[in-house]
Structures are given as C-alpha cells and as structure tokens.
C-alpha cells in the first residue's frame, strides 16, 4: 500500500509508539486487502467492551501516548457504580472494565458507551468516510445515512480514530457497494420486533453480502431500521443493504445492483419469520429476568416501556432491565419515563450491554428479551425471545406461555 511521507513517519515511530501501533494495524489490514492507499476519515466508532482483548489494544495505544485525531465514540462497557450492591461483579472483571474506560479517556475518545452513537453522540452525514464498528452501526451509517465505512473491528476503528485514516478497500469503493441478493419481502412486518426477525432471517440466509429488500409494506421507523441492522449483522455479516425508496444511496432496485443481476433471490414470508422466532426459544415458563435495550433503547422505546408498565408491578423475584445511553437517559429522566419504569420495579441502566461480564450473576438464570442478538450472546442459561408487550407481561406475571 502506498504511504505518504507522514504516514511512513508514523509507521517508523517518529510520532510516538502509540500512533505507530495504530498505523501498523491499519497498514497490515490495507496490505491484506490490497488497498492502494489510505484515505482520511472524519470520525470513528470503536466497539469497545469491558473485556481483555479490548483492554490490551486501547492500553497499548494509551501508554504509547496516542490521541484521537477525529471524534471517536465508544461502545458499552458498564457503570460500576450502578451495579454496586445489586450484583457481585468479580473484582478482576470490574478492574478490566475500569481500566478500559480509563484508557479510552486517555486517548481522548468520546465516552459515549453507546451502541447507537449515530443517533446522538457521533453522527455522520451522507457521503462522509468513517470507520465504524458495532453490529447496528456499520450497516446503519452505510445504508440509512449513506456514509461509507467498512465492517470495522473495535481495534481497527480505534486505530482509524487515532490516525484519522483508513485503508481504501471494501465499502469505500463504489462498485463494492452494489447489491448482491434480492430479498422479496412478503411478510406483514407490523412492528419493531418483526424487523428484528427480518434482520435475523436475512443475515442467516445471505451470510455475507449486500441485500436489496423490496416489498416492504411501509416506511420503516428509525427503531425498526436499527433492529434490522443489528440482527442482520449478527446472524450474518451484513455491512450494507438497500431498501430502495427508504434508504438513501439508490432510489431504484436497478440502481442498487449497479446494472448487474442479483446472485440469488430470497422470499421472506410471515411463516419464515415465525420459524426463526421459534428457533430462538430455548425454554418457556418461569423467568428470572427481562433484558431490553439491545441495541440500546431510544427515548421513544423507553416511553413505550413506561406506558406498558403503567399501573403494574414487576413480579417479586424477577428483575427488569432496560439498557440505554447516558444521553437518552437524561431525557428519559426529564420526561418521566425513568420514574415510571422504576416505580414498577424496573431499572434503566446506562453504559452497558448484555454482552458484558457485569451480568455474570445471571449465568444460571432464565431470561426473556425482545432481541435475538441479546439471546445470541447467551450470557444466561435459557432464553425466550418475544415482542416487547410479551416481555412486559411476563415480567409482571413471572412467566411466559
């Protein structure tokens, strides 16, 4: 890969060992993908976590004196103070989380600890070149916003945030953004949950590719698109998709395929989505907890939880969690949603996600969630996956089905 004089100096360590390590990673990726050169990025999102692999790399850069050159937001880790007294988090795990958070601060990242930063803390515009990791973030910024990013890892996104560049390959090149699979949607898609199932199904069937979806019954909401993105990029590796008429980069199916033919055609029916939903259940009956907010809930979703819990109480012995970002929680507090959820016995918790070691106390428990991605990580023994209304009802009764 061609390097400018400054890029070569960074690679040679002339600007410090932290930036050198970041550049080494980007050059290795560029060489692996036959990138011709590096291109500037205007922002990055690192899918950080409170786990050791992430700790290793961010501390390596922080100790080497690296600082982010462009705005770089962070994914959930966890708020140690909130859990204090509620759970026993093993000291070693808590220490990893503390050090990760400290190291991201030292490199000058935006401490958003959110997996949907593209809605409030770090918002790309159409046509921007960025480096975003995290399952919903990559397809959302490519497809819904029309910015350009590859499916970055936490480490490569952080390295790009430090250097302000990324190797030019993959989805930074227009012809690689063309559709590969035609997805004919015949399912009725009534709500956000149906979009989670649609995403899970499409990711599973397509695997790796750029699906072009037709036949959607109406314009999807922001939350429906977030869910589709997160699930299709969990059951599969969908970094980009088209919903012509609703996503920005191509207004017609022909434009989405850039004149080529699809590799294959898939049809999605209500029956196929029901089957996917059934496959996700590992048990039924009594539950120990409900986990919502994977991806992080928006203010609108918090409002819906508050409405559904109005006048009700979460069953004794069941815990009820809603994960969101700190910025959303500020508005939820002001709007009264947090109070309403807490009054019913629930928790609104920021900066964390189900895939964090803070939930270790649930490893032998039965959980219920509206998110196939949350179920996929299986940090608990058994899981039921259902729409939000069912999760709330089960929390109140202590069981489902």
- Closer to ligand F3S at the Cβ: 168 or 329? 329
- C-alpha to C-alpha distance for 341 and 346, rounded to whole angstroms: 5
302 binds ligand F3S per the rule CB under 6 A: no
H-type helices in 251-322, by residue range? 253-256, 270-280, 299-309
Cis amide leading into 196 (omega within 30): no
Please give the Cα distance from 128 to 130 (Å, whole number): 6
CA dist., res. 42 & res. 160, Å (int): 9
Nearest to 7 by CA among 72, 74, 57, 69: 69
For 325, the 3-state DSSP assignment is coil
Q: Which of residues 62-121 bind ligand F3S (CB under 6 A)?
A: 75-76, 115
Closest distance between ligand F3S and the C-beta of residue 87, in Å? 17
Selected binder of ligand F3S within 243, 250, 291, 294 (CB under 6 A): 294
- 229 to 258, contacts with ligand F3S by CB under 6 A? 230
The DSSP bridge partners found for residue 291 are 321, 369
x/- string (CB under 6 A) for ligand F3S, residues 303-332?
Answer: --------------------x---------
Beta-strand (E) ranges in 242-387? 264-268, 285-286, 289-297, 319-324, 347-350, 366-369, 382-385
CA atoms of 401 and 21, how far apart (whole Å): 53
The tokens describing 239, both together, are 């970094």
Q: Which range, of 19-27, 251-259, 274-282, 292-300, touches ligand F3S by CB under 6 A?
A: 292-300
Residue partners of 291: CB distance under 8 A and separation at least 6: 321, 323, 354, 367, 368, 369, 371, 374
DSSP category for residue 219: P
Structure tokens at 344: 């019913």
Nearer to ligand F3S, 68 or 115 (CB): 115
- Smallest distance from the beta carbon of 356 to ligand F3S, in angstroms? 8
Buried b (16+ CB within 10 A) or exposed e, 339-348: ebbeebbbbb
Comparing CB distances to ligand F3S, the nearer of 136 and 149 is 136
Minimum gap (Å) between residue 332 Cβ and ligand F3S:
16
Q: State yes or no: residue 280 binds ligand F3S (CB under 6 A).
A: no
| Of positions 291, 373, 375, 384, contacts ligand F3S by CB under 6 A | 373
The region of 22-30, 138-146, 195-203, 348-356 touching ligand F3S under the rule CB under 6 A is: 348-356
Strands 38-40 and 165-167 turn out to be antiparallel
* Number of residues binding to ligand F3S, judged by CB under 6 A: 16
Which tokens is 123 given? 């918002």
- Decide whether 69 or 296 has the Cβ nearer to ligand F3S: 296
Our CB check for ligand F3S shows the closer of 135 and 301 to be: 135
**Least Å from the CB of residue 349 to ligand F3S:** 11
Region from 137-145, 202-210, 240-248, 291-299 binding ligand F3S, contact rule CB under 6 A: 291-299
Closest-by-Cβ residue to ligand F3S is 353
What is the closest distance, in whole angstroms, from the C-beta atom of residue 136 to ligand F3S in the complex? 6
Interface with ligand F3S includes 353 (CB under 6 A)? yes
Q: Does 151 bind ligand F3S (CB under 6 A)?
A: no
Report if residue 354 touches ligand F3S, rule: CB under 6 A: yes
* Nearer Cβ to ligand F3S (51/221): 51
Under the rule (CB under 6 A), what is the footprint of ligand F3S?
75-76, 115, 135-136, 230, 294-296, 323, 353-355, 373-374, 377
């Amino acid at each position: 890969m061609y390097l400018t004089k400054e890029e070569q100096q960074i690679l040679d360590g002339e600007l410090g060992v932290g930036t050198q390590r970041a550049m080494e990673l980007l050059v290795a990726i560029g060489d692996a993908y036959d990138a011709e050169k590096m291109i500037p990025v205007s922002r990055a999102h690192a899918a950080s976590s409170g786990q050791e692999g992430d700790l290793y790399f961010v501390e390596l850069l922080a100790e080497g004196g690296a600082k982010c050159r462009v705005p770089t937001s962070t994914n959930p880790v966890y708020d140690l103070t909130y859990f204090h007294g509620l759970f026993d988090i093993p000291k070693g795990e808590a220490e990893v989380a503390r050090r990760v958070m400290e190291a991201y601060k030292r490199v000058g990242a935006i401490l958003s600890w959110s997996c949907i930063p593209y809605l409030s803390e770090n918002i790309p515009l159409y046509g921007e070149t960025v480096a975003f990791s995290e399952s919903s973030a990559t397809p959302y910024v490519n497809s819904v916003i029309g910015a350009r990013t590859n499916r970055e890892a936490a480490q490569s996104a952080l390295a790009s945030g430090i250097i302000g560049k990324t190797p030019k390959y993959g989805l930074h090149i227009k012809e690689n953004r063309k559709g590969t699979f035609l997805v004919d949607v015949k399912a009725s898609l009534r709500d956000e949950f149906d979009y989670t199932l649609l995403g899970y199904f499409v990711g599973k069937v397509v695997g790796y590719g750029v699906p072009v979806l037709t036949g959607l019954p109406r314009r999807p909401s922001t939350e429906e698109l977030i869910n589709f993105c997160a699930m299709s990029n969990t059951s599969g590796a969908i970094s980009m998709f088209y919903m012509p008429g609703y996503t920005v980069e191509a207004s017609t199916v022909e434009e989405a395929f850039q004149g080529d033919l699809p590799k294959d055609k898939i049809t999605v029916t209500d029956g196929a989505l029901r089957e996917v939903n059934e496959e996700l259940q590992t048990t039924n009956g009594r539950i120990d907890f409900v986990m919502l907010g994977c991806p992080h809930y928006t203010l609108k979703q918090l409002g819906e939880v508050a409405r559904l819990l109005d006048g009700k109480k979460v069953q004794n012995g069941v815990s009820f969690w809603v994960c969101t970002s700190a910025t959303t929680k500020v508005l939820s507090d002001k709007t009264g949603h947090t109070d309403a959820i807490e009054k019913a016995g629930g928790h609104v918790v920021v900066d964390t996600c189900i895939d964090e070691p803070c939930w270790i106390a649930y490893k032998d428990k039965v959980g219920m969630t509206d998110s196939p991605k949350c179920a996929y990580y299986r940090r608990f023994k058994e899981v039921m996956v259902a729409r939000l209304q069912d999760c709330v009802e089960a929390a109140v009764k202590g069981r489902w089905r």
